[in-house]
A and B are shown apart, each in its own frame.
Chain A
């Protein structure tokens, strides 16, 4: 069986084709970049998705050498995300499903991050650390649902890094710019460290770091210190969840998972608790079509589908509300 998955929750429009044996046949993504210093404008992001959608679809089909008729199901990211972006992807998905007369499968975007990371790393029953622009959550699976052990109480880790980058007039998403700047930082600046049980809070850290930068601290040092403090906070929360759940695997996924310093911290913690750390491959860490396609396979095999006229997007959609029959 082959599933075509469409991702369009925020800045990325992507189409992936994945087979039920877990082979990622193709994964084509096109990302909208707002002007430097600016955040994503929802309408412009959707405009971008409209423009690139035909090209991305064509490329995916050509590169995979798979004919449309060979596709067994169409999956799309139903939420959470920006309304206009989501609607664009959903529209393309509905059209394909109707035209090809194939089932339409709604996928929660974060479940896509987790499932593709599980497929590509082989992690079994892990403590999941999902860090992206939309999520900062520590999760473990139990009885049909992902259970939240810890999360951010305000902004996400991706938000923190992106907003700091924007402050310094870099374009969004800015996580990788921050990482390379942090590499050149030397001085550790004292910033607010806020951990509440297994939860973290980053808004105070962002305010303090912006202030320091505006007051003349070297950007490299600010980036270095922000990484040190924010990653240590997440790592502490993760370690507490790991000690509590006694899991033997840790799975790091989401766009921020690409960060080497974060990987290093979690490696140390996992080792301390005799757990193996699995890190999603960099190409699949950010939003991509393959995440939706693979999760679409799993959902389809569990007979999850939606009627086209009921296939509403859910821009606010918590991942612990999604029933997962396949795990």
Chain B
């Protein structure tokens, strides 16, 4: 059992489990928050993640296979995806490869939305390009079911923000490609509405500059 990564919410271990190469995602107690709140958050996130990750796969969005969920220890055992996080990869791609990947990201987001799934934490840390070239979405702890424009808007806003904060040198072109991919799944009209909402939400912050 090796510690693969220490995420914000969970510790992730890579190990062999009945001969399978798996990841054990353990949501540990967070001592900074009230024990009642802590338990509630860990339980609901573990439940959602396992359920919606499984559903997403059914909708044609690659996600790790779920093998086991243990609510008492708030642990999920899932398939290990060998590959690289999009966050670490983006820099090494050619411009064309990068835009192709982003368009694919947009399509997968669209597919989630079309199937009433909101991811809730779209960042480039939460996407893995597998060695076989398949793009996986992970980390569904904040996901939920919804078809609301607002929720879809927030989802895409978080994605946009992730690019502008972390990959700022090519954020503009990447997000454009994501939008185009998204439109392929959602249709031009629906896509336009969601993007309008994204802009509206980001202006809600008190200090949006007047342009």
Contacts and interface: CB of A to CB of B under 8 A. Distances in A.
A98 B14 CA distance: 67
B205 A193 contact: no
A147 B165 contact: yes
B207 A265 contact: no
Given A188-B37, A317-B209, A321-B209, A143 B204 contact: no
A195 B142 contact: yes
A236 B41 CA distance: 11
Interface string A217-242: 00000000000110010011001101
A197 B122 contact: yes
Interface string A158-191: 0000000000000000000000000000001010
Given A80-B206, A265-B32, A316-B207, A148 B161 contact: yes
B192 interface: no
Given A197-B142, A265-B33, A243 B7 contact: yes
Given A197-B120, A197-B122, A268 B207 contact: no
A196 interface: yes
Interface string B27-55: 00001111011000100000000000000
B69 interface: no
Contact of A228 (B33, B125, B154, B209): B33
A265 B31 CA distance: 8
Contacts of A317: 207, 209
Contact of A147 (B33, B142, B164): B164
Contacts of A140: 165
Interface residues of A, number: 48
Given A147-B165, A316-B209, A269 B32 contact: yes
B32 A268 contact: yes
A318 interface: yes
Contacts of A235: 32-33
B180 to A, nearest CB: 22
Contact of A193 (B9, B41, B123, B204): B41
A272 B37 CA distance: 19
B207 A80 contact: yes
B20 interface: no
A319 B8 contact: no
B206 A153 contact: no
Contacts of A193: 37, 41
Contact of A199 (B125, B158, B169): B158
A153 B205 contact: yes
Given A153-B201, A232-B37, 13 more contacts: A80-B207, A140-B165, A143-B169, A147-B165, A147-B166, A152-B205, A188-B34, A197-B158, A229-B37, A244-B166, A316-B207, A317-B207, A317-B209
Closest 5 CB pairs of A and B: A240-B8, A243-B8, A197-B158, A232-B33, A268-B32
